[in-house]
Amino acid sequence: MLAGFRSLRATTSRAGLLRASLALRPFSAVAPGDDRPLAGIKVVDLTRVLAGPTATMMLVSPRADVIKIESPSGDDTRIWSPPEAKLVDGAPRPDLPPESAYFMCANRNKRSVVLNLKNKEAMKVMYKLIEDADVFVENYVPGKLEKFGLGWEQLKKINPRLIYCSVTGYGSTGPYASAPGYDVVIEAEAGLMHITGEKEGPPVKVGVAVTDILTGHYATSGILAALLKRGKTGKGTRVETSLFESQIATLANIGSNYLIAGQEATRWGTSHPSVVPYQVFPTKDGYMMIAGGNDSQFRTLCGPNILNKPEWLDDERFATNASRVTNRKILVDAIIEVLSHKSTAEWTEVIRGKGIPFAPINNIGQTFNHPQAIARKVVEEVEHPRAGKIKIAAAAVTYDGEKPKIYRPPPYLGQHTAEVLEEIGYSAAEIDELKSGGATV
């Protein structure tokens, strides 16, 4: 291993130097000269739905080679439709249903391999993939994969340098360990729903599966840290995160308020419990968010160039943020009355550039057509083999000022099975035999 490490250190490419610093294996399935941060990292991805696929998608944008292992029926979200991407004429695998929009959002740049893990030959393939993998990611109920021979203790014997990441609902220990994790359930059980919704209304869920997404990000950061540790020790690591713990960790100041001061939280809608005015306000034809976060901003808001209410500045009820919090309803009702005389577009023109944090409430179409979204190229168009040209949200990070491009569209089921099996030494005849024996399709 030491000789191999010295050999790697001798390389002059930037990607080679990265790999030397992490003591990783030679490049696999990447273009020569690719210098993206994770080029050459091999990830075996046994996740489905959203939390796990989000974690592996975060790895694949900087060019890790993510091999998505799917059952013959595929990731559950493939058929979570409508809506779905319509098939083009002559699309491959016409026997498969169209890929759902849901599946497309978290599986770009990955390669799909179908393996029936109940089949002994398929398990041999899986072990062969693990032998030189850098990372293995799974999101099964704790104990499930051990029955298949794919637990941490089992796989580290095959590959002692493997980073093994488990994404669970509640963690691998404790009374809820065996319970499956669902975003909406965790939102309820771990406090988020309690603080989401209007003050006098019922609890509501967030508009996207935010707990799944947050957990995926926590998993990614854990994997990256483990890769750096391996560069120092040469040994693999078991990484674990759960929806339950991720949601509690991201209660942020609300959680800290309880832990430090024993202060229970409540729902505030779009309002802030400690700052006024700081909420969504209705206008003549819609809504907008206004955040007067300090006394200076409040004075600007009341000035002749915006609300034109200088008398509020001399009113003791509104003189400080503390007094505005005490007299919240009086002030909010007064602001609503003023805003009711102009449209959202008119108020946007009035407030823009005046130093007040504000924004109209945009729908999704307005969001993607926002001039800043266009300038920052938040959407990328790629060619999908079954759906033709599709649009996908781009990565939200740049490297040296450049966004990582989508170099593969989200795969159709089993699209890369033969390709990947050939890379690990299977002949065409052997692949056909695996298909006929039910190991793959």
Query: Would you please indicate which residues are annotated as catalytic (active-site) residues?
Result: 212
Distances (CA, A) of 255 to 205, 249, 251: 18, 8, 5
Q: Which residues pair with 76 in a beta bridge?
A: none
Name residue 242's beta-bridge partners.
Answer: 168
First vs last Cα of the chain: how many Å apart?
A: 37
Sheet holding 237-242, edge to edge: 111-114, 65-70, 42-46, 135-138, 163-168, 237-242
Q: How far apart are CA 339 and CA 39, in angstroms?
A: 53
Residue 76 corresponds to which tokens in the numbers above?
């559950």
d(CA 253, CA 355): 26
Nearest to 41 by CA among 107, 134, 132: 134
Region of 157 (left: φ > 0; alpha: ψ -120 to 50; beta: rest) is alpha
Contact between 276 and 321 (Cβ < 8 Å): yes
> Residue 165 forms beta bridges with which residues?
137, 239
**Closest among 281, 386, 255, 387 to 338, alpha carbons compared:** 281
The sign one gets for the Cα dihedral 423, 427, 432, 437 is negative
Residue 193, helix vs strand vs coil:
helix
Q: Order of strands, edge to edge, in the sheet holding 278-282? A: 278-282, 287-291, 358-360
